[in-house]
Amino acid sequence: MKITIFGSGYVGLVTGACFAEVGNDVLCVDIDEAKIARLKQGEIPIYEPGLEDIVLENVREGRLRFTTSVEEGVAFGLYQFIAVGTPPDEDGSADLRHVLSVAESVGQHMKDYRIVINKSTVPVGTADLVREKVREVLNARGVDIDFDVVSNPEFLKEGDAVDDFMKPERIVVGVDNPRTKELLRNLYAPFNRSHERFIAMDIRSAELTKYAANSMLATKISFMNEIANISELVGADVEAVRRGIGSDSRIGFAFIYPGVGYGGSCFPKDVQALERTARKYGYDSRILQAVEAVNKDQKLSLVDKIRTHFGGELNGRVIAIWGLAFKPNTDDMREAPSRSVMEELWKEGVTIQAYDPVAMKEARRIYGDRADLVYAEHPEDAVKGADALAVMTEWMVFRSPDFDQIKQDLRQPVVFDGRNIYNPDVMEQLGFTYYSIGRQPRLQK
């Protein structure tokens, strides 16, 4: 099948590469000339495990191509995927300018039947806007060409996106007629072999499903962080509580790990967008507002601990930070808790010595060169001469470090663990003052 993907970012590139991997001919369109030039040269603009291999392989085999020509893209594929960004607007609602721009381009250049598929995460009702835009342009051209609009939200986890696409838990498709449902079922047949994963529904329900899924997961995270904060106050251990409630099959263990809050390109944006959608329809979504508020505060919980430990005297201190990406196995720093922590500490005169296995380039892009930020080449380099170590991302490389060396390199043996990856008893035995989330601090006398 011939497939056009508008947008060669995270969702678009993964979608295009995975469709090509099962034998389809895919053309990825992006107006960013520099990005397309890099992709044509075999440079992958994002870090995602396994993605580079399948992109390069399918480019070599001729099944995956890249272009900046919108007209070529519309002419190429029966399936026209919209996978462009929908950044939050000033009021938190999703900005649909890029989505509607693609819809306008499809209307301008299509010459026969096309299926326009919203892969971007968009508010309920966006398919109607896309349909109206395409129809408006066709009417202006004075032509009557048949087309359909479909909602097909993505459920890709950063760090596992290729596996998520190749072995999906569900394939949600919002359609309004049997023809497009069967065409989409055929398109996804290679990913739907072992058992039925294809879930067809009305378009608005499909659009809401994506927001509901991410908001539910964000709610679990914020709820567990609330429990962590309560645990600290009452003298409980949130990790014991987590095991106690997670063993209940109705709750489960997924997304109930306390920490310094969620980040990334999805949860913050989608919770805000769904809350704004509810408000648009006259509903006050108090749970979503609380999820967002708790997460905002939780990102700075480690700063409060750092400030308290040093008696509020932070000016001139040096803090080592391990982990800049919002989660492991990605270089994505959008809405990352590390950013909130660093920016708050900078206000108080702190110098940051930072290390991340893959996000250093992204950090340089965001912050550039500044006197109060040292980019360490190795985790050990970040620790040397620092007043304390703060762990912000639970990368595997941080889980079993040389604590004896860390103790020697730090000015004082203090660790702030924002992801609860270390055992408090062990840290105490090793001679560290140790702070974590939802557990009592271990203070050296």
Cβ count near 166 (within 10 Å):
15
Sheet holding 388-391, edge to edge: 373-375, 351-355, 318-322, 388-391, 414-417, 433-435
Q: Report which DSSP code applies to 112.
A: S
Pick left, alpha or beta for residue 325 (phi over 0 → left; psi -120 to 50 → alpha; otherwise beta). Answer: beta
Q: The tokens of 110 are what?
A: 């299509």
User: From CA 259, how far away is CA 320, in angstroms rounded?
Assistant: 18
Contacts of 282 by beta carbon, 8 Å cutoff, 6+ apart: none
CB burial of 14-46 (b: ≥16 within 10 Å; e: otherwise) equals: bbbbbbbbeebbbbbbbbeeebbeebeeeeeeb
CB 83 within 8 A of CB 15: yes
Cβ count near 169 (within 10 Å):
7
Positions annotated as catalytic residues are: 266
Handedness of CA 431, 436, 439, 441 (dihedral sign): positive
**DSSP secondary structure letters along 303-349:** HHHHHHHTTT--TT-EEEEE--SSSTT----TT-HHHHHHHHHHHTT
Q: The tokens of 279 are what?
A: 């408000």
